[in-house]
């Protein structure tokens, strides 16, 4: 099967054909850092991290850009409430987010452009749109004139006349038509501002992504990804202003959107107050468990948050880590030379690839990992009985492939030796072992959870208790 993605613009799966052979240009809408990021954000960035990893695994060279909206109405409002400078507030939460991305094993983008560092590019794009007759200035504000962009509503499947109905120009707005949107906003007293041909002001929300994506990737690029909530109006407006500025179509070849994280079927959102921050989640669960939980549901489907599901994710991961650890222990004193895969391992590798090629179907890809794990255990049992070179070779191939595919999903484990564990941690591990022997499982579980919060994961194996670091 050729690599296919569900293109929101086409409303169907399409074979992936980048503009430039094996070179892929990819842009993902980043955060607006006015508050801590939650698991809905984590789903978005883990999903597109896996897409990038898989493209690289498949032999593509990816240029990956992710912006940071470090000035907008929400930041200004929150900074005013907390008596902070907007720049200070946005830096605080963008730094926190960067740290959380690293802990979640999300590979850094090639560039993280910020609005405040790209004002000249934004002003230049607005000037191009005005020159092409698609925008107008009104007393220091600049608006995009939606009626002049005939394809408006194509991405979101909305009719312009339906959008106009019921809308009106709000008090204080200077636009000609209710559906027009701001490219540049005149500065209000006390707000941050930049000089422009239209007076002091700052960019509207949508223009920033158009200016920064085209600055780094060109007027036309391959993949634009983000959450479903951005389809309208943000991505719709990006298409309009980008194509109006460059006079080239299409702005983007493949539009990809991930589904929401929900809580009891309602969308997880700061406005609803039903969210768990990434920071809070990492206090309870390992980064790999969070990734596994997110990847266990197809990226376009709703993902309902529950502690039970996250606990199950942890147990599922531990079973794979246990297989990897046991394989490594068995092969530690063996010498193996292999440069190709045997039939059973190749079959499971192809099952993984087939799943990922079909619109990044990570649940099926994970199922292929478990099939490979089961095969590894079968070969491990056989080797312990026979000690044949063929069986050892099968173990080696299964281990190598399992580790490689776990890395594609960002689920690789980090090990810690017993010698590097502190005396305090060692005493807790021993206390848990005594509790288990005394059948005090409540105490044993309490110690296990306490160690997990410190980044130490315990595993009960046939060879005894093992532990590793997930911090």
Q: What is the pLDDT of residues 278-319, one digit of tens each?
A: 999 999 999 999 999 999 999 999 999 999 999 999 999 999
Same domain? 106 vs 36: yes
Cβ neighbourhood burial of 98 (10 Å; 0-12, 13-18, 19+): middle
Q: What is the DSSP letter of 111?
A: B
* 245: in domain: yes
Same domain? 258 vs 120: yes
The yes-or-no verdict on residue 77 having pLDDT over 60 is: yes
d(Cα 271, Cα 312) in Å, to the nearest integer?
29
Same domain? 460 vs 389: no
The model's pTM is 0.86
Residue 121: both structure tokens together: 């590019």
Total of domains in the chain: 3
Same domain? 347 vs 462: no
Same domain? 324 vs 236: no
Same domain? 114 vs 220: yes
Q: What is the structure's pLDDT at 234?
A: 97
Per-residue confidence band for 331, with pLDDT thresholds at 50, 70 and 90 = confident
Same domain? 243 vs 392: no
d(Cα 126, Cα 204) in Å, to the nearest integer?
10
Cross-strand partners of 12: 7
Lowest pLDDT segment from 61-65, 212-216, 261-265: 261-265
Per-residue confidence band for 173, with pLDDT thresholds at 50, 70 and 90 = confident
Cβ neighbourhood burial of 436 (10 Å; 0-12, 13-18, 19+): middle
Measured at the alpha carbon of residue 170, what is the angle toward residues 89 and 188, in degrees to the nearest 5? 40
Q: Strand 221-227 relative to strand 23-28: parallel, antiparallel, unpaired?
A: parallel
Cβ(351)–Cβ(363) below 8 Å:
no
Same domain? 335 vs 395: yes
Phi, psi of 113 (to 5 degrees): -65, 140
Same domain? 121 vs 44: yes
Same domain? 336 vs 449: no
For the domain that residue 383 is a member of, what is the CATH number?
A: 1.20.120.640
Peptide bond into 464 cis (omega under 30): no
* 161: in domain: no
Cβ(215)–Cβ(118) below 8 Å:
yes
* 145: in domain: no
* 429: in domain: yes
The yes-or-no verdict on residue 370 having pLDDT over 50 is: yes
Q: Which domain holds residue 446?
A: 418-469
Q: What is the structure's pLDDT at 279?
A: 93
Cβ(253)–Cβ(74) below 8 Å:
no
Phi, psi of 60 (to 5 degrees): -90, 150
pLDDT per position as a tens digit, 334-350: 666 655 567 899 999 99
Q: What is the mean pLDDT of the chain?
A: 91
């Amino acid at each position: 099967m050729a690599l296919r993605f569900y293109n929101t613009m086409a409303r169907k799966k399409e074979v992936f054909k980048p503009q430039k052979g094996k070179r892929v240009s990819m842009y993902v809408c980043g955060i607006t850092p006015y508050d801590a990021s939650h698991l809905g954000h984590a789903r978005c960035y883990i999903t597109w991290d896996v897409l990038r990893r898989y493209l690289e695994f498949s032999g593509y060279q990816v240029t990956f850009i992710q912006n940071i909206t470090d000035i907008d109405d929400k930041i200004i409002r929150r900074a005013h409430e907390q008596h902070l400078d907007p720049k200070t507030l946005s830096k605080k939460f963008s730094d926190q987010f960067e740290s959380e991305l690293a802990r979640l094993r999300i590979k850094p983008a090639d560039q993280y452009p910020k609005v405040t560092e790209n004002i000249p590019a934004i002003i230049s794009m607005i000037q191009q749109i005005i020159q092409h007759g698609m925008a107008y200035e009104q007393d220091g504000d600049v608006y995009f004139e939606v009626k002049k962009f005939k394809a408006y509503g194509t991405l979101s499947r909305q009719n312009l006349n339906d959008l106009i109905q019921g809308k009106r120009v709000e008090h204080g707005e200077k636009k000609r038509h209710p559906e027009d949107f701001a490219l540049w906003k005149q500065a209000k007293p006390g707000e941050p501002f930049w000089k422009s041909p239209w007076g002091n002001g700052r960019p509207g929300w949508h223009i920033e992504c158009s200016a920064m994506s085209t600055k780094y990737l060109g007027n036309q690029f391959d993949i634009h990804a983000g959450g479903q909530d951005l389809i309208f109006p943000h991505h719709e407006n990006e298409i309009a202003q980008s194509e109006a500025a460059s006079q080239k179509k299409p702005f983007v070849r493949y539009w990809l959107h991930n589904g929401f994280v929900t809580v009891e079927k309602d969308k997880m959102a700061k406005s609803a107050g039903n969210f768990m921050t990434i920071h809070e989640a990492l206090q309870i669960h390992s980064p790999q468990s969070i990734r596994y939980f997110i990847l266990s549901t197809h990226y376009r489907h709703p993902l309902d948050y529950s502690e039970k599901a996250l606990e199950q994710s942890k147990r599922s991961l531990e079973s794979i880590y246990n297989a990897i650890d046991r394989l490594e222990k068995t092969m530690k004193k063996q010498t193996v030379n292999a440069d190709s895969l045997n039939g059973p391992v190749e079959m499971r590798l192809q099952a993984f690839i087939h799943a990922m090629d079909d619109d990044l179907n990570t649940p099926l890809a994970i199922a292929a990992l478990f099939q490979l794990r089961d095969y590894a255990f079968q070969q491990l049992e056989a080797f312990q009985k026979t000690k044949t070179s063929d069986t050892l070779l099968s173990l080696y191939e299964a281990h190598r492939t399992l580790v490689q595919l776990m890395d594609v999903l960002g689920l690789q484990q980090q090990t810690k030796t017993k010698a590097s564990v502190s005396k305090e941690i060692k005493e807790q591990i021993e206390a848990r072992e005594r509790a288990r022997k005394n059948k005090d499982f409540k105490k044993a579980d309490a110690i296990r959870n306490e160690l997990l919060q410190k980044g130490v994961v315990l595993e009960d194996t046939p060879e005894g208790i093992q532990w590793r670091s997930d911090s």
